[in-house]
Amino acid sequence: MSAPAESVRAIRDDVATGRRSAVDVCTAALARIDAANPRLNAFNTVAAEGALSAAAAVDRHRAAGEPPGPLAGVPIAIKDNLCVRGMRTTASSKILDAFVPPYDATVVRHLERAGAVILGKTNCDEFAMGSSNENSAYGPVRNPWAPDRTPGGSSGGSAAAVAARLVPCALGSDTGGSIRQPAAFCGIVGVKPTYGRVSRYGLLAFASSLDQIGPMTRNVADAALVLSVIAGQDVADATSAPEPVPDFSEGLDLGVRGLRIGVPRAFIGSGVDDQVLGAFEAAVDRFREAGATIVDVALPNAAAAIPAYYLVCTAEASSNLARYDGVRYGHRPVLAPDDTLQTLYDRTRDEGFGPEVKRRIMLGTYVLSAGYYDAYYLKAQQVRTLLKREYEQAFERADVIAMPTSPTPPFRLGEKAADPLQMYLTDVFTVSANLAGLPAVSVPCGFTADTLPIGLQLTGRHFDEATLLRAAAAYEAATDWATRAPPLG
């Protein structure tokens, strides 16, 4: 079905000035979801009644003369690993199939206070563990550009919903590329903020030292606006940083003249699809034409990021997912009178967790076990420190570092499902930003001959999202990639 090319800002302005009602905007979005979701499987839960009630409240406040919020009436989808009070929150796992949280994630509170209307929860890889959205207990999400292809993961439902024009914005979470890779695969913008920039309170934890929440939109300006709303220190999250939150929308039109764009050519010199590499080189040329200086930077140990990441994240997953034991909440199996507590634990996890989650829990438990901690986990943390130092040195020469977001275009559903190592390697360009805690963004930078989207990743200094978004906006303005929509019919 066709959908209007509406931005977050356009909707906000229309609702704030009374040109349209928030209820009308919400009703239209719900109709698009109803028509397209059976094909895409982007949503696990659609909360139509609550959304219409929230939209009506926005209209009442505006009619009463109250100042509209910066997201007044904007329909937004939430990844299903973020808690929304009274709304089923599953992390796309059977173990939480009936879980309804009694509280909101901090980012959800920020959105609602800004006037946003939460439409529902988007499908994802189970507990955000995956790069293809095939690990969901509720089935895979399909890429709006090609239904036989993955939308990327783990935030595949959020990416597909935005790309298909079901909503103008969705929130995702990014542990090793789970916002940026699906953004690239679906031809949209995805921002992973600096670690600590956005509160993680209410996010169902996967790897606590890596997880970050960020916006997924159709253009950079919308992402900047939403990031300004959800960012900030939170007393409920001790890892959130006491950094002032600027208006990320300011300076988006300054261009890139005078900026230094670093390119780690040795790192991206092999293993990249020819069409992806061609689109990346064309993007670098666009930056040069726009007045940026292109400089070579060295990240000699970046190739070690994948093994380091999959040791750190699995270790933290093993610790975080130990809480799912069938005692306090979530799935509880039917037990015989003589079954033991250990039987309860075993059957809860066996029935509730999918294969990928089990694989990562076992890997993480192994690397944390006596006799293996120093050999694996400690070395991974040392590599992590080394990567941070290498980025610091690179940022002495460059203001922003450019790479492809993914080494390949969107691959077919099932293509890598039987080979976890090949699946993990799709994150080769994204995991470093999480290990180093750096902000990064993916923007559309072209299409393959088969009209499959390709993404450009830009990485910035700690808490310098402003420069990062400025560079992304300049590139977006010099191309028309972000204006293209999938042929949904």
Q: What is the pLDDT of residue 270?
A: 83
Q: pLDDT at residue 310 above 70?
A: yes
Q: CB burial class (10 A; 0-12, 13-18, 19+) of residue 127?
A: buried
Catalytic (active site) residue 416: no
Q: Which of 21, 154, 173, 228 is the catalytic position? A: 154
User: Which helix (H) or strand (E) covers residue 227, if one does?
Assistant: helix 220-230
Which amino acid type is present at position 16? A
Q: pLDDT at residue 1 above 80?
A: no
Tokens of 376: 């694996």
Tokens of 144: 């709006």
Q: Which of 21, 155, 178, 228 is the catalytic position? A: 178
Catalytic (active site) residue 154: yes
Handedness of CA 158, 159, 164, 170 (dihedral sign): positive
The mean pLDDT of 463-473, rounded to a whole number, is: 98
Q: pLDDT at residue 8 above 50?
A: yes
* Cα–Cα distance for residue pair 351/257, rounded to 1 Å: 56
Q: Which of 79, 121, 192, 416 is the catalytic position? A: 79
User: Which helix (H) or strand (E) covers residue 92, if one does?
Assistant: none
The mean pLDDT of 52-79, rounded to a whole number, is: 97
Q: What is the pLDDT of residue 3?
A: 37
Contact, 214 vs 177, CB < 8 A?
A: no
Strand extents, DSSP E, 193-236 = 212-217
Q: Helices 8-17 and 48-63, interaxial angle, to 10°? A: 50
Q: What is the pLDDT of residue 402?
A: 98
Kindly report which listed range (152-166, 207-221, 285-299, 367-381) carries the lowest average pLDDT score. 367-381
Burial 163-200 (b: 16+ CB within 10 A, else e): bbbbbbbbbbbbbbbbbbbbbbbbbbbbbbbbbbbbbb
Q: pTM value?
A: 0.96
Q: CB burial class (10 A; 0-12, 13-18, 19+) of residue 469?
A: buried
Query: 446 phi and psi, to 5 degrees?
Result: 145, -175
The mean pLDDT of 22-46, rounded to a whole number, is: 98
Nearest residue to 172 (alpha-carbon basis) of 232, 216, 109: 216
pLDDT in tens, 238-262: 999 999 999 999 999 999 999 999 9
The mean pLDDT of 219-245, rounded to a whole number, is: 98
Q: What is the pLDDT of residue 328?
A: 85
Tokens of 401: 């570092």
Reported as a pLDDT band with limits 50, 70 and 90, residue 2 is very low
The mean pLDDT of 112-128, rounded to a whole number, is: 98
CATH superfamily ID and name for 8-253+469-483: Amidase signature (AS) domain (3.90.1300.10)
The mean pLDDT of 215-235, rounded to a whole number, is: 98
Reported as a pLDDT band with limits 50, 70 and 90, residue 443 is very high
Q: What share of the chain is helix, strand, coil (3-state, %, to 5)?
A: 40, 15, 45
Tell me the sheet residues that pair with 154. none
Q: pLDDT at residue 464 above 90?
A: yes
Reported as a pLDDT band with limits 50, 70 and 90, residue 269 is confident
